Amino acid sequence: MIIDHFPVLVVVLPLVGAFVTLLAGWADRRLCFPIAMATTFIQFCISLQILSRVMQTGPLHYNLGNWLPPWGIEYVIDQLNGFVLVVILFLCVLTCLYSYRSIHSEIDEKKIPAFYTVFLLLVTGVCGIAVTGDLFNLYVFLEISSLAAYALVALGREKRSLVSSFTYLVMGSVSACFILLGIGHLYIATGTLNMADLARLLPPLYGSTVIQSAFIFFIIGLSIKTALFPLHLWLPDAYRYSPSAVTVLLASVVSKIGVYALIRILFSVFTPAFIIIEIPVMEVFCWLAAVAIIGGSVLAIAQTDLKRMLAYSSVSQMGYILLGIGIADNLAVTGGILQILNHAVMKGCLFMIAGAFIYTSGIRSIDDLRGIARTMPLTAAAFVIAAASMIGIPPTAGFMSKWFIALGALESGQWIFVLVILASSLLTAIYFWKVIEYMYFRDPGTRCAEVVSTARDPPAGMLVPILILAAACVLFGIFVSIPLEVIEPFVTGILGGI
Amino acid sequence: MIETLLPGLFLRYNYYMAVIIMLIGLYAMIAKGNLIKKIIGLNIFQTAIFLFYISSSDIIGGTAPILTSDPASVYVNPLPHVLILTAIVVAVSTTAVGLALVIRIYEAYGTIEEDELIAMEAKE
Amino acid sequence: MDQISFVPVLAICIPAVAAVLILIFRNHPMIRESWTILASFATLACVLSMLPLVFSGAEPYAALFQILPGLSISFRADAFALIFALTSSSLWVLNSFYSIGYMQAHHGKNLTRYFFCFSVAISAALGVAFSADLLTMFIFYEILTLSTYPLVVHAESEEARMAGRKYLAYLLTAGIFFLFSVLLTYFLTGGTAFAPGGILTGQGSALLMMILFITFLIGFAKAAWIPLHSWLPSAMVAPTPVSALLHAVAVVKAGVFGIARVVFYIFGIDMVSALGLGLLLASIASFTIIVASMMALTQDNLKKRLAYSTISQLSYILLGVALLTPSGIIAALIHIPFHAFMKITLFFSAGAIIVMTGIENISEMKGIGRKMPITMLMFAIGAIGICGLPPVCGIITKWYLALGAIEAGQLIFLVVILSSSILNVLYFFPIISTAFFEKPDVDTGVHEAPLFMLIPLTITGICSVLLFLFPDWPFLTLVTIAEAIITGSVLP
């Protein structure tokens, strides 16, 4: 039955798609978009099917080449993978749709086949990370997605995109090296690379320094990947100078898969017992996340460039996810995982809007956005909704994740983090409200009055994904029970009942 | 005291070598301003990890892991070799992408020295 | 007893739907404005239709969906909620007409945004009124903040933008405190549903309860108690209909309404009085009453003086709540509609003067009473009512408040009430005497405002008198029912 091969299809399909796109691109450039679109869409449907099967029958196991684990590579999909897979593919489909119009104005015509090829390779990488149950396989897919991401960043027309891509490459490779080291340590100690097997073999070895240093390597490596605060320096430039569609991918897909890998390694390879009791690393983790939340917001306030501001805001919002994980309480982890979805949706929406401004008027600076709401009403309205969600105003999605994380912090008695979450809402309000005030309540500045007055809402190909995501910001807030239904079994599974 | 420490130190000297090489690579990445040298540093760093893997699989007196008629033959663990083969592929790809970027940077800026790049960006 | 009914939800949805329709018909001013009018009547009808049920002792209740155990979006139209809802929705009808007249006379711009935000704000105010739990209330409270922000910044001048920033800075910060309180309440009790007698009893140490009470108070900065009041005078840069309905009725009453809800339905009277929190609230309220009245004396801008008067009057409600006695509660609850009717009359009159003459300062209003006699007569009625003199409804509040102070044995508050009355007279009567008895410097051809504005302000003025003559229907009846529920006594 083909349905049994879905876990591997979700990885193989974009890989094949990438080559087909490359070949088709030689024949006719216009073929690339439909192929990429069809591939991601079919993948999205597959991922939905996988998730529904996981919800009905529990985790799926797929042995590559019928080699039994722990010898062969095993793909395992439980509620967390299924959820993350659906989220990232949802964003990939929308980004692909969005890229059709936006990418033409941002990269050279002849590079379009290359863009879609690398795009599909990136999708291969992130889907691979999501489904694999093997640590080394995870490393390989992490590198595939990262390499694709470096290339995509370098596609930007501005020459600074090259330098930011190079910085990203160096930082990314170092982080991958640390992860590889961590994997090596675990292998030396246990002789296996299968995650489930590791989780079984590790507990007696928790006292060993080898295991502990492996853990530290993982934390450092993945912190760079997810741009945890002091290690975030590559992020703003990479986000700022990439083409809009690529920024959306980086912010809502690549960063999310890094967090997924972190959760998987923290909770499924190691166990909560280890990360909470054996080394007090979670405490440090929480504080770093708190610094990220506040520091990212403060830096975002200081920005004058819209995309850069959103990039720093990402640093802050990723801090929420990491704080949720770091508190390691049922509710907080639920909130953290919920934030993966919510942040992907809101930040995807915001970066798409920033791209829409660049597309229609070439405006990048917040200052120049004055009065743009009059000529781009729908885009501006979507911005308001997504910004409200970032601030955490009910009933938007962002509120719900903050609610859960704060509740978790209260439950575990860590009051200080409740205050951090609440204070950061205010900081977030400051920088987003500035943009909203400029868009709605100011006359266009003299410098770009003409550009602003002739700007129009972007074409449907860009507007539809923006509006879908803006609607999702509200819908996932009101119907928060839908993602919760998926997340809760996983969290209960790893941390015990609520 | 030193007598008790030394054997342990020399017993695992392969790991210490790996760490030293790793640090050399890391130093090159941070301290060198030339982008090519940074990539070389990255390569040294990666190679150190490869050595670390490979040396961990070795067994004194072990043979190559080839199926022989002698059931008592001691052979080294082949899996790390296989893993590192993959990791080398990854490292080569990373290097390739990195070098391609350096070429593009040179075309765009006319230099690959980091401090000059920063100065040029600051001027813009 | 609860009776499942979606009428409260409907009442909240009507203005929200109207807001969408207003957006759709943004290029047809006539159709757009008629949606506002239609929606206001429909909302009022909706609210009125619940009255018989509530009079008979039932409470329409609707739980929409559950987020977590003990955490749901639910609505209940009890007598207490209806007092606020009825006030807002009935005044919205008049205010819609007035808005149209005001905006026509004032050549207002961005009217689609104006009417859109207005409808959303009313929807949110009704949401605050009907919410049956803290989370729902918080959601609508935040929507109310955001939807009124564009109205404050409506003029798009630098002054308006500064006021808007201040408005958001105060109210969003307050929102954070509110959120914290909701979180903490949910954490302590596992639920946030309102229940007469409170849900917090025995759920935490006295110190924790005090902290929670204070964060709640800060959270409800919309009640504009001093020192969290300064957003309100700044917000007076908004168009007058906004100041009239939102910043004298819907928004600020949402604040005091919230405090009352929390005191009676989350903490419970017993706990508040046992911890001495009533005294704390009463002291804040008394301080606000006196200081705001004094500040009002120093204002020459008419709308600002009215704003300080609002701050002072809102604390009457808080004082009534804080007394924790039956008469105090009645005074607090009855002052919500009464003050609304009187203050909206005052703002409507002020708006009429601004539109017809462009004058905003009291010192320039010499002899205006002769040019605009009806407007100024209604203004005088409103002013007399606020001062607590017959034959306007304000005296009823003062009467119950004084009774409440005596019941509580706190005669000091009697002094506060009396001295505040004197201050009220001091800041209102100069306006009336300037308007009627001083001669204008130059004679200009000023006349009465257009009927769209004049009729609503006449109606509210006359209503203020009628409410004195016939207070029972519907407000005093509702208040008695609500008071009986809150104190747990048997219905008369």
Q: Is residue C399 part of a domain?
A: yes
Q: Is C175:C219 a contact under the CB 8 Å cutoff? A: yes
Tokens of B80: 């790390």
- Paired with C73 in beta bridges are C65
Q: Within 13 A of C294's CA, how many CA atoms are on the CB side?
A: 8
Dihedral sign, Cα of residue B105, residue B108, residue B113, residue B119: negative
Selecting from C161, C176, C183 the residue whose C-beta is nearest the C-beta of A426 gives: C176
Locate tokens 């942040």: which residue? Answer: A343
pLDDT at residue C216 tops 70: yes
Contact C401/A at CB under 8 A: no
Segment C418-462, tens digit of pLDDT? 899 899 999 888 888 888 888 877 766 777 888 888 899 899 999
Q: Closest Cα partner for A332 from A400, A405, A272, A267?
A: A405
Which parts of A66-204 fold into alpha helices (H)? Answer: 79-106, 112-131, 135-154, 160-190, 195-201
CATH number assigned to the domain comprising residue B36: 1.10.287.3510
Tallying the residues shown for chain A, one arrives at 498
pLDDT at residue A69 tops 80: no
User: How high is the pLDDT of residue C492?
Assistant: 44
Q: Closest Cα partner for A341 from A282, A400, A261, A425?
A: A400
A150 vs B contacts (CB less than 8 Å): 97, 101
Q: Is residue B87 part of a domain?
A: yes
Count of CB atoms within 10 A of residue A312's CB? 23
Locate tokens 């969600």: which residue? Answer: A389
Question: What HEC string does A42-88 produce?
Answer: HHHHHHHHHHHHHHHHCCEEEEHHHCCCCCCCEEEECHHHHHHHHHH
Q: Is residue B21 part of a domain?
A: yes
In chain B, how many domains are there?
A: 1
Q: What angle do CA C444, C446, C450 make, to 5 degrees?
A: 165
Q: Is A421:C134 a contact under the CB 8 Å cutoff? A: no
Distance CA C163, CA C236 (A): 8
Contact A413/C at CB under 8 A: no
Contact B38/A at CB under 8 A: yes
Segment C106-148, tens digit of pLDDT? 777 888 889 999 999 999 999 999 999 999 999 999 999 999 9
Q: Which residue of C has its CA nearest to A430?
A: C169
pLDDT at residue C58 tops 60: yes
Q: Is A228:A285 a contact under the CB 8 Å cutoff? A: no
Q: Is residue B3 part of a domain?
A: no
Q: Suggest the residue from A297, A334, A393, A427 to mutate for an interface test with chain C (most C CBs closer than 10 A).
A: A393
Q: Is residue B4 part of a domain?
A: no
Tallying the residues shown for chain C, one arrives at 492
Q: Do C139 and A395 touch (CB under 8 A)?
A: yes
Selecting from A162, A173, A181 the residue whose C-beta is nearest the C-beta of B108 gives: A162
In 3-state terms, what secondary structure has residue C55? Answer: helix
Average pLDDT rounded to a whole number, residues A152-157: 88
pLDDT at residue A147 tops 90: yes
Report the complex ipTM.
Answer: 0.89
Distance CA C145, CA C128 (A): 12
Give the pairing of strands A74-77 and A60-63.
Answer: antiparallel
H or E stretch including C62? strand C59-68
Phi, psi of A74 (to 5 degrees): -115, 135
Q: Is C182:C134 a contact under the CB 8 Å cutoff? A: yes
- Paired with A63 in beta bridges are A74
Contact C65/A at CB under 8 A: yes
Q: Give the domain extent around B79.
A: 9-59+74-123
A67 vs B contacts (CB less than 8 Å): none
Q: Do A170 and B49 touch (CB under 8 A)?
A: no
Tokens of A441: 């309540």
pLDDT at residue C242 tops 80: yes
Buried b (16+ CB within 10 A) or exposed e, C44-58: bebbbebbebbeeeb
Locate tokens 């119950």: which residue? Answer: C400
C172 vs A contacts (CB less than 8 Å): 391, 426, 429
Q: Do C66 and A426 touch (CB under 8 A)?
A: no
Q: Do B109 and A166 touch (CB under 8 A)?
A: no
Q: How far is B16 from chain A (nearest CA, A)?
A: 14
Selecting from A140, A143, A162 the residue whose C-beta is nearest the C-beta of B101 gives: A162
User: How high is the pLDDT of residue A280?
Assistant: 75
Name A149's Cβ contacts closer than 8 Å, sequence gap at least 6.
A122, A168, A172, A246, A249, A250, A254
pLDDT at residue A194 tops 60: yes
Average pLDDT rounded to a whole number, residues C62-91: 86
Segment B32-82, tens digit of pLDDT? 889 999 999 999 999 999 998 888 877 777 777 777 777 777 778 888 888
Q: Is residue C492 part of a domain?
A: no
Q: Is residue B64 part of a domain?
A: no
If contacts are CB pairs under 8 Å, which of residues 150-179 in chain A contact chain C?
none
Q: Is residue B68 part of a domain?
A: no
Terminal-to-terminal C-alpha distance of chain B: 61
Rounded to the nearest integer, the mean pLDDT of chain A is 89
In chain C, how many domains are there?
A: 1
C161 vs A contacts (CB less than 8 Å): 437, 441-442
Q: How far is B1 from chain A (nearest CA, A)?
A: 22
pLDDT at residue A92 tops 90: yes
Q: Do A481 and C67 touch (CB under 8 A)?
A: yes
Segment B101-115, tens digit of pLDDT? 999 999 998 888 888
Q: Do B45 and A174 touch (CB under 8 A)?
A: yes
Q: Do A426 and C187 touch (CB under 8 A)?
A: no
Distance CA A52, CA A347 (A): 26
Selecting from B29, B49, B86 the residue whose C-beta is nearest the C-beta of A170 gives: B29
pLDDT band at A497 (very low <50, low <70, confident <90, very high): very low
Contact B73/A at CB under 8 A: no
pLDDT at residue C379 tops 60: yes
CA distances to A369, C49, C89, C127 from C40, rounded to whole Å, are 36, 14, 7, 15
| CB neighbour class for A131 (10 Å; exposed up to 12, middle 13-18, buried from 19) | buried
Contact A426/C at CB under 8 A: yes
Q: Is residue B38 part of a domain?
A: yes
